Structure 1
């Protein structure tokens, strides 16, 4: 997906590189001011700032609205499909009792002593299709039940879970941040997904498992009766088998690998890239089709085969769409902002400035995302805005497929850095685990910083190896 459909124009901004750079700084500052100071919804704030940026830069009046609308629709067309189907898939896994069944199986496999590790690994699987907020609320009753039965310290089990869900939400498609960022810089979703999955476990192991063990030793928070006692927990009738949950979580990855693998083979000349069967398998491996097939498979396995009616299944998937509408619209508006930056020439000015300053694009992407994250809180907004800002420079750099994926992951790493009181996830994790603000700052905010630095270090290593060859 090209986020700059209106980049080629027959006009030149009256501002030079310096003026365009100043405009970019003012635009971002205004965006943050509207969101933080006036509490204006990020969707509206992005539209307002995009419009004002276009006008100040001198975009001809007849080009302003087409620039805004085309950039918005280009982003929304892909992101909305992926996020909506992913949300439906997550709702089916949650309401069927499949998530609970998988968690219990992991604990049996690893043993009680390694229950925190088991819950964290389970959350890595569950976090693949489910948004962090929904997945954490889903996992918390399991965390409470296990903590009550074992050590009694909720942090020992809740922290690995929260960290795992954060890692998956930030780095792995079909979550909206990495999907949108991939679109902005023309990175292949399949390669981004593979790289995200490769760095997910080591990043979680350091920032979630090891840091979680330290946090549990330092703070002992008892289990509250927020969800009742274990005996009072409502059991879902006839839940799916754990292997069925693993199947539906792995299926989209396998299908997407058809696309990526065939592209690699065709590029190496090992298969005929224009053959009909190759195009057919590539279509199956396109992310929206892969998720659609997975969602339909889940409806059959977790719905009809368990005796649920079509009406009940329809209600489940319909309810899944409401909570994600805001995220989808914000992501589309972020694409609008990126399109305006490209059309005005701000992107080229950023590219020239970075080149003059000698800052590599991958470092610039990380630092811009860090600044956005610290200022306004939302990792998704930080990731999409930073990707939009850096996209023209990335597209002009001639980076290869893996390098583009590394730049996306570097931006994602910056977008999660040190979440604090302006981040909704900060309050969600703190309140559900029973922490006060001070404790949450000392534990969760540091976890987010560790997660960011570890992931960025891994990405830099991969980026460096690729450039050597």
Structure 2
């Protein structure tokens, strides 16, 4: 069988059940996934795989077709998204090992006074958050947060919350992070438009949930003792630190290329025009991230004094930690395809039409429920995008991108004890469970609510 045949969308699995029965099948399968992840501590990849089989069985699919949709969805998702996750991990590791993150922090902090330090931390986190996964960003930012808190004589919450908000907002709303990328793929949204609208929503959301909310959280949590900074990850001995301008240009290159593609598509609007063909190629996610990685090998790796072997080792080491993420994302794609093929998406569309529920609000609510149940923003994004994907069929490209953002916003709602990020923040900042709930968990909720409050009016305007 050819690769094209493997990746081609399969025909919808036959089902004879009513919309109510299909929705019940979806609820039961999602409930099973939640139970497997939270109670039995099963890896999300296995939980999503089993949940997909249960969904197909409950929807009445023939036994020999129980895995066909899952396999196709898994392969298509890994093909479209897995490569981008790998390239993003390479760029993030180059940024970390070369000292590029420290270059950004030093340059911004050198120009900041005590009052502007929380705003500077939000800016630093947003810049670092563009190519980095959330967990990697936290590890990189914690030493900077502790340094800023000591240097500015500010509380840990006052500077830590803006930093966490910067990472989280970018993680949930702005490609090329895995969640938004998968939602873009599932909903067939335009990546450039999603990136532009994501940044438009992210900026005011970050301002409110970061520096402004930090003042409130500081009163709620009270003073915290500054813990010792965690030891940095081992890396090849650096001879130099990359220049701030070179680091910034490397990080922003894929963003500029993808935004350039979106702008050219709107202004030129001629697929045969040479300029648009050039930008369509250079602004495709794969080429944009590949260009950033290749540039980063020079501006980050070589600038830090790494030899060929050192750069190769850094790139190689970046791929190991993301294997689990790729499998979870792929399994989520398989579950999404099963939802679509058995007819659950159409049933949701019929239900939403009868109740006159906004597709944007519906996507946000579904992601919120899955996030609260599983604790995983990525699982919430993938599953919710699959459920509401039929609603995007008749939407304009702008509204489809807003639906991606609505799902991403819902996936950030109220992180609590079933989220690995909750414990990561708690331990690094030396807080109790109650203090973490008052700061980190509420901050995540503020991000989610403010983002959807901005997205819904945008849906009426654009």
Q: Could you say which residue in structure 1 is the equivalent of 2:98?
A: 96
Cα deviation 1:232-288 (Å, max 9, x = unaligned): xx9954111111111111111111123212221343xxxx42135532331111011
Q: Could you say which residue in structure 2 is the equivalent of 1:225?
A: 228
d(CA) in 1 for partners of 2:250 and 2:224?
A: 35
Q: Could you say which residue in structure 1 is the equivalent of 2:348?
A: 350
Q: How many residue pairs align between the two structures?
A: 451
Please report how far the alpha carbon of residue 214 of structure 1 lies from its aligned counterpart in structure 2 after TM superposition.
2.2
Could you tell me which runs of 5 or more consecutive residues in structure 1 were left unpaired when the two chains were aligned. 229-233
Please report how far the alpha carbon of residue 188 of structure 1 lies from its aligned counterpart in structure 2 after TM superposition.
0.8
8 Å CA contact 2:361, 2:456 repeated in 1: no
SS at match of 2:271: coil
Q: TM-score, normalised by structure 1?
A: 0.92
d(CA) in 2 for partners of 1:226 and 1:252?
A: 31
Q: Could you say which residue in structure 2 is the equivalent of 1:67?
A: 69
d(CA) in 2 for partners of 1:276 and 1:163?
A: 41
1:156 aligns with 2:158: yes
1:400 aligns with 2:405: no
Cα deviation 1:27-69 (Å, max 9, x = unaligned): 1111111111111111011111111221232223443333221
Deviates more, 1:119-128 or 1:209-218: 209-218
8 Å CA contact 1:248, 1:298 repeated in 2: yes
Q: Could you say which residue in structure 2 is the equivalent of 1:144?
A: 146
8 Å CA contact 1:178, 1:408 repeated in 2: yes
Deviates more, 1:74-83 or 1:147-156: 147-156
- Counterpart selection for 1:382 from 367, 380, 386: 380
Please report how far the alpha carbon of residue 5 of structure 1 lies from its aligned counterpart in structure 2 after TM superposition.
5.5
Q: Could you say which residue in structure 2 is the equivalent of 1:231?
A: none
What is the 5 A alignment of 1:309-320? 309-320=307-318
What is the 5 A alignment of 1:48-447? 48-151=50-153, 153-218=155-220, 219-227=222-230, 236-267=238-269, 272-395=270-393, 398-447=394-443
d(CA) in 1 for partners of 2:419 and 2:93?
A: 24
d(CA) in 2 for partners of 1:150 and 1:46?
A: 46
d(CA) in 1 for partners of 2:126 and 2:329?
A: 24
Could you tell me which runs of 5 or more consecutive residues in structure 2 were left unpaired when the two chains were aligned. 1-6
- Counterpart selection for 2:34 from 27, 32, 35: 32
SS at match of 2:435: helix
What is the 5 A alignment of 1:1-16? 6=9, 8-9=11-12, 12-16=14-18
d(CA) in 2 for partners of 1:442 and 1:209?
A: 15
Please report how far the alpha carbon of residue 459 of structure 1 lies from its aligned counterpart in structure 2 after TM superposition.
0.7
Please report how far the alpha carbon of residue 91 of structure 1 lies from its aligned counterpart in structure 2 after TM superposition.
0.7
